């Protein structure tokens, strides 16, 4: 896999933004088409020199930094959407890499693909292995397989230079759930034994996230109650039909004492930013509230309500500026705390 010239775009930007990218990098051997990730670099004279060379490492600033130099994103799609992939981060990259010189500390952005669950009712590309009488392993994932893939993606990035506190980890929708699962509890808690723990991010960013799985069926509230049957189906496909197992996979229901121990041991981040659009037609506000209730019991974690999310559920990744402005807010929060010197 080698670096290549590429362009990314975002609504509202008049011109494409030139980048250097390596896409669909496999993070395991003998992988299927969704076990891979993308890495994007701003196009500069230094990164242009990497074009057509193998991907061996993330670029480094050459000296210690007090702010994260990398951004890693986990896309959403309800664990099942075949059309929502790692490429969905590109509008945010266009915003970040077109920002005025000096306002963007990021040297690289990575976006992780993962295997997805069956989606028998997808309007244009349904998948049901039994009904369709064929198998597509990339669309047959059941928890913890989605998370295992994300952790393997983070492990590959670690081998390329992603270090503790050197990055912000973000996720949209179910990607926010996966990001929190990856960092607030050890892999063994989910029965995952074959991958190392993720490097600790400087901050977590959850956008229109899904955090309490049982509440997506039994606690939607009046505004979203009409989605109860749909959520019950998608969660059964992604986490199994036995709803008694769902709480253990829900970040909002993790043991606060266990999270606190990880934070104090330097195994989980101290800053969590949660943003939820009041106009989200798919996710109720109480998903954020339920996670806040848990995180508020962990004194070592600073939980901040973001204020960038607006519009419909997909707005953060569709237009890009919500994610980019949220990252800028996080840089300001970390700088206000004096930052933490990281080696990248």
Determine, yes or no, domain membership for 70: yes
Q: Look at residues 94, 7, 119 and name the one whose alpha carbon lies nearest to residue 318.
A: 94
pTM: 0.95
**What is the rounded average pLDDT of the residues 285-307?**
96
Determine, yes or no, domain membership for 344: no
**What is the rounded average pLDDT of the residues 256-282?**
97
Token pair 């952790």 is at which residue? 151
Average pLDDT across the chain, whole number: 94
Alpha helices (H) in 166-297, listed in sequence order: 174-184, 215-218, 228-239, 256-264, 286-295
Q: What is the pLDDT of residue 129?
A: 80
CATH number of the domain bearing residue 20: 3.40.50.1820
Q: What is the pLDDT of residue 337?
A: 65
**What is the rounded average pLDDT of the residues 281-286?**
98
Instruction: Quote the domain boundaries for residue 18.
Output: 4-336
Determine, yes or no, domain membership for 90: yes
Determine, yes or no, domain membership for 47: yes
Phi then psi for residue 338, to 5 deg, are: 90, -5
Determine, yes or no, domain membership for 248: yes
Residues 300-335: pLDDT tens digits? Answer: 999 999 999 999 999 999 999 999 999 999 999 999
Determine, yes or no, domain membership for 107: yes
Q: What is the pLDDT of residue 82?
A: 96
Q: What is the pLDDT of residue 31?
A: 87
Determine, yes or no, domain membership for 193: yes
Give the total number of structural domains in the chain.
1
**What is the rounded average pLDDT of the residues 62-90?**
93
Confidence of residue 224 (pLDDT cuts 50, 70, 90): very high
Least confident of 57-61, 87-91, 167-171, 301-305: 57-61
Determine, yes or no, domain membership for 342: no
Q: 256 by DSSP, 3-state: which?
A: helix
**Distance of alpha carbon 215 from its chain centroid, rounded?**
21
**What is the rounded average pLDDT of the residues 126-140?**
86
- Helix (H) / strand (E) element for 336: namely helix 321-336
Query: How many other CB atoms are there within 10 angstroms of residue 254's CB atom?
Result: 23
């Amino acid at each position: 896999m080698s670096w290549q010239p590429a362009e990314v775009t975002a609504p509202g930007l008049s011109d494409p933004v030139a980048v250097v990218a390596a896409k669909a990098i496999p993070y395991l051997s003998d992988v299927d088409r969704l076990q891979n990730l993308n890495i994007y670099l701003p196009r500069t004279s230094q990164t242009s020199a990497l074009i057509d060379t193998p991907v061996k490492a993330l670029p480094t600033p050459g000296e210690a930094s007090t702010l994260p130099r990398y951004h890693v994103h986990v896309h959403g799609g309800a664990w099942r959407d075949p059309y929502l992939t790692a490429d969905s981060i590109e509008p945010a990259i266009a915003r970040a890499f077109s920002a005025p010189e000096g306002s963007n500390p990021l040297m690289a952005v990575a976006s992780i693909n993962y295997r997805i669950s069956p989606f028998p009712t997808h309007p244009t590309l349904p998948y049901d292995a039994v009904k369709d009488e064929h198998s597509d392993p990339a669309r047959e994932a059941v928890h913890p397989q989605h998370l295992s893939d994300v952790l393997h993606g983070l492990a590959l990035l670690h081998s390329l230079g992603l270090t503790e506190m050197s990055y912000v980890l973000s996720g949209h929708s179910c990607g926010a759930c996966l990001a929190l699962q990856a960092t607030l509890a050890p892999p063994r808690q989910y029965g995952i034994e074959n991958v190392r723990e993720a490097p600790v991010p400087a901050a977590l960013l959850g956008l229109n996230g899904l955090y309490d799985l049982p509440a997506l069926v039994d606690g939607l509230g009046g505004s979203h109650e009409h989605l109860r049957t749909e959520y019950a189906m998608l969660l059964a496909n992604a986490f199994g039909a036995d709803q008694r197992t769902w709480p253990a996979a829900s970040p909002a229901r993790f043991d606060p004492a266990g999270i606190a121990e990880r934070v104090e041991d330097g195994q989980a981040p101290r800053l969590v930013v949660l943003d939820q659009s009041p106009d989200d037609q798919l996710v109720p506000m109480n998903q954020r509230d339920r996670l806040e209730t848990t995180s508020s019991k962990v004194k070592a974690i600073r939980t901040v309500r973001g204020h960038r999310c607006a519009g419909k559920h997909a707005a953060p990744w569709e237009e890009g500026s919500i994610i980019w402005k949220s990252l800028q807010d996080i840089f300001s929060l970390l700088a206000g705390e004096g930052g933490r010197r990281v080696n990248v």
